[in-house]
Structure 1
Amino acid sequence: MAASTNTGFATTEAGNSKSSDPGFGALGIRDAATYLGIGETKLKEEIREKRLEARKFGTRTLILREALDAWRLRLPVRAA
């Protein structure tokens, strides 16, 4: 049985991460949604509506951290 480690993004087995690499600067759908504090469905909607830029690497969808931060900054400011 492989040992599990928790990287803070997703649980991986024996260091063979199938989740996003936090040092790479791009996150997969699940990790990007967690990073933004929204659901995966809402994240995919934002990508589909072209409000959030995503890139494809084979079958994987990756979102650069810069794109995530820019999306967050474009959100409307809520009046106090």
Structure 2
Amino acid sequence: MKINIELDNALEETEVLIRAAKMTEEVNGILKKLEEPSVQMISGFAGDTLEILEQADIIRVYAAKGKVYAVTAKGEYLLRMRL
């Protein structure tokens, strides 16, 4: 697969063009990814271990002593983000 990006100041919104010889599973996969709502990844530290947290798994987010924490059923994680 080849990817090209063209920047054009005259455009008012982002446009995506897919060029292919025929409809393939790869093209369908790209379409599905583009149609999915974007999800921001949240990473948190449990001790020295960095883990990717699923937003649906987060029960609570709170701030204490100048730090932000997220709580899941698996435990509490220190976040490097602001509330």
Which TM bucket (shorter chain)? under 0.3
Higher relative CO (Cα under 8 Å, sequence separation at least 6) belongs to 1
TM-score if structure 1 supplies the norm length?
0.25
Bigger helix fraction: 1
Larger radius of gyration between Structure 1 and Structure 2? 2
TM-score if structure 2 supplies the norm length?
0.25
